[in-house]
Amino acid sequence: MVALGFAAAILIGTGLLLLPAASLPGSDTSVLDALFTATSSMCLTGLIVVDTATHWSGLGQAIILGLIQVGGFGIMTMATVAGLVLANRLGLRARLNAAAEV
């Protein structure tokens, strides 16, 4: 489910970056450039194939910023879930060890 949500966000971001209003006049965006930019933004790597300031319009930059935010929320959510699962496991082990010693 998480992977499908991640892929869906990347595909939606790619579609939005392909809109004519997302790039500056005279800039031509290929599907591969939009896909790479959306994926890089969601993964928070910061890799680019076109210069962000000179290729993307304000709308395109806002879309990229939104993808970065969604990717960051996803990473923080997964880290929180992993921490809660790990904390519950350790708590249960500690309780079992304490019960066995009594």
| Cα 8 → chain centroid | 11
pLDDT for 96 beyond 80 = no
CATH number of residue 63's parent domain: 1.10.287.70
pLDDT for 93 beyond 80 = no
Task: Report how many domains make up the chain.
Answer: 1
What is the span of the domain harbouring residue 71?
2-101
- Residue 28 phi, psi (nearest 5): -105, 125
pLDDT digits (tens, 9 = 90+) for 4-34: 888 999 999 999 999 999 999 999 999 999 9
- Asked if residue 24 lies in contact with residue 57, where contact means CB atoms within 8 angstroms, the answer is yes
Task: Collapse the DSSP code of 56 into the 3-class scheme (helix H, G, I; strand E, B; otherwise coil) and give the result.
Answer: strand
pLDDT of residue 8: 95
pLDDT for 88 beyond 60 = yes
Task: Collapse the DSSP code of 49 into the 3-class scheme (helix H, G, I; strand E, B; otherwise coil) and give the result.
Answer: coil
Which DSSP state fits 50?
S
pLDDT digits (tens, 9 = 90+) for 27-65: 999 999 999 999 999 998 889 999 999 999 999 999 999
| Closest of 4, 33, 59 to residue 14, by C-alpha | 33
